[in-house]
Amino acid sequence: MSDTHTYSTSVEWTRQKRAALSSAFLPTIEVATPPQFPGGHEGIWSPEHLYTAAAEVCLMTTFLSVADHSNLKFEKFTCKATGTLAKQDGKWMMTEVHLFPELTLSPGEKEERGLKVLEKAEKACLISHSVKSEIKMTPTILQLELH
């Protein structure tokens, strides 16, 4: 695997404060200014949503890789995230992304091991390394019982 990867996207304004975000071989999605700002739109992905989702998806993909290399057996992974936008020194910035992963382990797996793999994934996530925002994680580990 190469040490450098390039990802290209394109945005095209469509109307009002809306645009189409695209990338080769990926579905186009509608993006807009969030409703908290003048002329913003509800129900459409905003840069703030995408920023928050980037940290969340990065945790998941990194977790899947670490879990695979660690032979961790699990039944389910879900995650919720909140991104906090605040003014600092007169400028808007995403100050924090808080991740809430929930991991359901397979029967026989230890909770401590699941937590260790999640923590390792959080530390290895490239998005966390790339942003100024504080990235927090509050994990929940569930154990699937044998019946």
User: Average of pLDDT values for 100-111?
Assistant: 97
- Given a cut of 90, whether residue 147 has pLDDT beyond it is no
Residue 65 has pLDDT above 90, yes or no: yes
E-state strands within 24-65: 29-32
In the chain, the number of structural domains is 2
**Mean pLDDT for the chain?**
96
Greater confidence (131 vs 21) lies with 21
35: its two tokens: 């409703």
Q: Tell whether the model's pLDDT for residue 108 goes beyond 90.
A: yes
Residue ending a domain, choose from 45, 65, 80: 45
6 and 78 inside one domain: no
CA proximity to 104, closest of 55, 133, 61, 63: 63
Q: Is 33 found in the same domain as 52?
A: no
User: What's the pTM value of the predicted model, to 2 decimals?
Assistant: 0.90
The domain in which residue 122 lies consists of 47-143
